A and B are shown apart, each in its own frame.
Chain A
């Protein structure tokens, strides 16, 4: 490492902050509440599920300044270099006049106990900035990461509709008014230097992918943090002490999305939100799945690379990626290697990632227009819940209507996201109909012996997995029968 800095810098509301002594796992929420006494941002769960701590983080995406809602409770301060953090205290005008989003919540009786309210304000403000005249589907999606226990949400949604429908022309807006200044300043801050804070390099923000590889070579046991939607909980819930921690969310090179005739390459640092438009266009079912991963705050932070790298047995995206035949590129200082995604997951809690390696990118082969691809997530609550099981199906039929190729992968059915090899074998070469599906369903029992836990019983998982094959058959034969809340939803 040549160019090194000893401090991270970001803009907090209207002031630039320089921190040269911050812990590797100090959360943004603790920093705001304890160090800055900005107590409008609340802690409701400390695990990124309730949204009471929602703040906006602005970052440069190319030349664009993008503001996204994030969970301050599981966001580490070390990940904020060259960003603009906006808290609820920044919204009202200097004379105390409320922002229209705040005023609408007051006018529509959108707060009762008020504890979740600052989080709702920030989520709705994020929506207000990004979408004109949002519909109910947009509003519900924007609020997937915010829990309210008092209102039943109806007045909050009404407030969001009203403020979205009638945007006053001359509103003082704290973000829009300082946009140019922020853009210029963030460009100045973002020098591409590597930042190292603390003895023994407790906190590292590498300035380039090469610098990242070098850091990991020197510290193979370092914890790599992209979105911290998983690692955040190691700290807040398990109280693990991590060091060194390497923050990769600022590496533009890991955030590239490349589309070629052969397929799609997603850099490991691409967030769910960033991947969404492309994935939803190429694989609409994948888009609908992403809509149901976490809330907006989690999708704005969490990365598909991180989702793969952490090897959860549920694995939000791996079943879909495996069914699509995705390949993983791992990189280290020694070079890169590529492997099919399903081979990466060895067993529960163990992945094929060598010390010093990091996930660099994912490649998803292009699907043909005649391919059938579906992914079904089953959870206790429809949105912002972890799958009880998730099944992905990728089917091609030959000219006779027989199964030419079929890839099935499930999450939540075994210790890792796993292909249904026996079910696939039972159906390949047969006419795609109920009889064939019945064979596949019978074979699934050999593929998976799921567990009973708080999300579902083994019996429910097995039965539903089999039924999802029926759903897939119906969908591919023009009898789609999935519940949808909004037809043609955003």
Chain B
């Protein structure tokens, strides 16, 4: 697209609705109960229902499967196994051919589906699925990532090394060094709407699949691959998801493929909605990590060298573990300059469900590890960790302290200003002093406070994914149909992109109809992931709208015999010289003059490049920044705690919609806080995940959110890159803000020993981990 044309637009004062706080486009339907999710759609006559047949071994050969009782059960129409996949039984998104739709002879994690039952009702399918008799031969299993390291377990994909300078030598020469290990737990997405796919067969090879997916194009490609039909035969649609958070980037493939196979085989619509427990057992989660680190530093807390290995529990297959563990390394520096650095990843194969994308995509784990190193240095020197942070921030471009471990320059650094502002606004120093005094006299309750920064790189590290398409139609009545490759999972993407279009044409938002994402309108799209939704789709849609607008301008200039610069789009009207006509009127005239009122838009992120072999490049178009300050109280008798107050200052560039962006920041904070506090995944010795439903897996409640919760956007920030409206991505970066909660808990624990030791509080910091850390420190 013409970047200069866009430049003109963004530097001019913009009228609403772009940059205005607008409600979510579906808000009214949400509260009325009339927003349709896939399970709410009317079912065509003859609709069948599917259920997963799950195995109960962590690692075993399947010797036999007997479906006699399953097939005799009421309502059962058929049973599908790996052999029934018409073309391929593989849905590996990394194309490593390591992810079967259904286990074929080998069970690699407890619960792995080995068959699917299709029945007249969902209840009949679920009941029947429990009646199979499977005979196994057990094989040894590895569940825990620390065990996997110990046993040098195989890797699911090639590891990454990031290297700058000579870390080993610099460690040897550092005045002080320390070593440590941190364990960081995984996380269940817990989207409120579990996975669902609804396949409706068509003529020839055709099938339409409604899928709750962040990546319709991939579902399309996987379904066509499994069926052995061209991609053009498969149409995938999604209007909205009941939450995604990365959990619906690749994990919907299985349900969509099975529903489509059954639908084509039986020539009847097939709906596949797993139960919550099945969803949590059979679909991937955030990766757990074990970080082994070594830091060299001086007496003032300046970090001189960092060497760290990031090992991850990837599960049985590669899925997205390669890029996830890469992104962990990309964020091990967070906002800090490491003069010498050596980072390695270790994507471990384990007999657990294959871990996958989750908001932050490895970045949070990388960052938590990096912040642990800062904390260790601070405790080793008896300094306030905030002081150590400030001393290690990246410098201005040209300072010699602006190069990341992957050799990208940090050109847009605003972290020092953000942190200073937050430190002042949150009254950090005075509150810290008061807390230190409180802890001196309080026997049972102890408090902690921490202020931590976030710097998060924006772009898919797989360069090809940084492209997007859109389709805009203007109808004769002036109403506008908007479609793009992005998906709506609650984050407000549809609203933001509609604002872009409405702004471009200067029409009311209501004139723009947001339509369900479908592979039939915009092809070859990327996942709505990596926080890139509005950056990519906003630009693609703008590009489409701009083409139509330019045609309208050309038409008007010709008809009114004037020059294009005499034509201005003003709210709901177009001014041509001194004449002013309503937008729909111009559209109608244009139609009769045979002006093409539809356009496909396209965008690709400029500048970025990345060479994984050399570990060098510019994987990120820009960085998003933020900082948070958290205060907590803990009970040193039980380990229970409360988050008393949180202050956040976050950078979204020039916000496309401050209401939506603040919602993203608040929501990400609480979700990230859950990851670091109460959300614990627990496997038993048989490799069974025992926390597979909300009764056992505890995401935050309203009463867990910070008691005082002040969230501010850095309204002075503008993206230095010409992104849509100079905004910045917002989905993932704020997820890492609650690292300050973990560290505030850590400070409260440290108080029992006069802050002499770093508590090394692992995540999630459940009440149990807090109490055990208190006990450890008391023992000295």
Contact = CB atoms under 8 A, between A and B. Distances in A.
Interface of A: 30, 33, 37, 39-47, 49-50, 52, 87-89, 91-92, 96, 98, 102-103, 105-107, 109-118, 121, 139-141, 143-144, 146-157, 236-237, 239, 376, 378-386, 388, 453-457, 459-460, 463-464, 467-468, 470-471, 474, 479, 481-483, 485
A110 B31 CA distance: 9
A266 B258 CA distance: 52
B663 A380 contact: no
Nearest to B659: A109
Contact of B703 (A156, A237, A382): A382
Contacts of A468: 637-638
Interface stretch (B174-182, B309-317, B688-696): B688-696
B242 A155 contact: no
Most-contacted residue by chain B among A109, A152, A454 (CB, 10 A) = A152
Interface residues of B, number: 90
Contacts of B32: 40, 88-89, 91-92, 96, 98, 102
Contacts of B560: none
14 contacts: A40-B32, A41-B33, A47-B276, A88-B33, A96-B32, A109-B659, A114-B29, A144-B703, A149-B243, A152-B667, A378-B767, A388-B768, A454-B684, A454-B696
A41 to B, nearest CB: 7
Nearest to B691: A454
Nearest to B681: A454
Given A88-B32, A106-B23, A114-B35, A157 B702 contact: yes
A482 B635 contact: yes
Contacts of A110: 31
Contacts of A111: 24, 26-27, 30-31, 490
Nearest to A40: B33
A151 B31 contact: no
Nearest to A153: B702
A102 B31 contact: yes
B701 A112 contact: no
Interface string B184-218: 00000111111000000000000000000000000
B34 interface: yes
B701 A454 contact: no
Interface string B31-75: 111111101101000000000000000000000000000000000
A153 B705 contact: yes
A106 B28 contact: yes
B633 interface: yes
A471 B702 contact: no
A47 B695 contact: yes
Contacts of A107: 23
Nearest to A480: B444
Given A109-B660, A153-B670, A378-B767, A47 B490 contact: no
A65 to B, nearest CB: 23
B193 A146 contact: no
Contacts of B33: 39-41, 87-89, 118, 121
B633 A483 contact: yes
Interface stretch (B331-339, B379-387, B639-647): B639-647
B392 to A, nearest CB: 30
Contacts of A237: 275, 277, 693
A456 B768 contact: yes
B490 A113 contact: yes
Given A456-B768, A464-B639, A149 B699 contact: yes
B756 interface: no
B700 interface: yes
B240 interface: yes
Contacts of A102: 31-32
B441 to A, nearest CB: 12
Contacts of B638: 376, 378, 464, 467-468, 471
B193 A117 contact: no
A-B residue pairs, 9 tightest by C-beta: A40-B33, A113-B490, A115-B242, A114-B30, A152-B670, A481-B444, A49-B694, A88-B33, A112-B490
Contacts of A459: 772
B450 to A, nearest CB: 18
A151 B667 contact: yes
B489 interface: yes
Contacts of B193: 42, 44, 113, 115
B491 interface: yes
A197 B766 CA distance: 48
Contacts of B639: 460, 464
A155 B30 contact: no
Contacts of B194: 44
B682 interface: yes
B126 interface: yes
B703 A383 contact: yes
Contacts of B612: none
B768 A39 contact: no
B702 A144 contact: yes
B31 A483 contact: no
A39 B39 contact: yes
Contacts of B191: 113, 115, 149
A156 B130 contact: no
Contact of A42 (B37, B682, B698, B705): B37
Given A111-B24, A143-B702, A378 B640 contact: yes
B666 interface: yes
A147 B37 contact: no
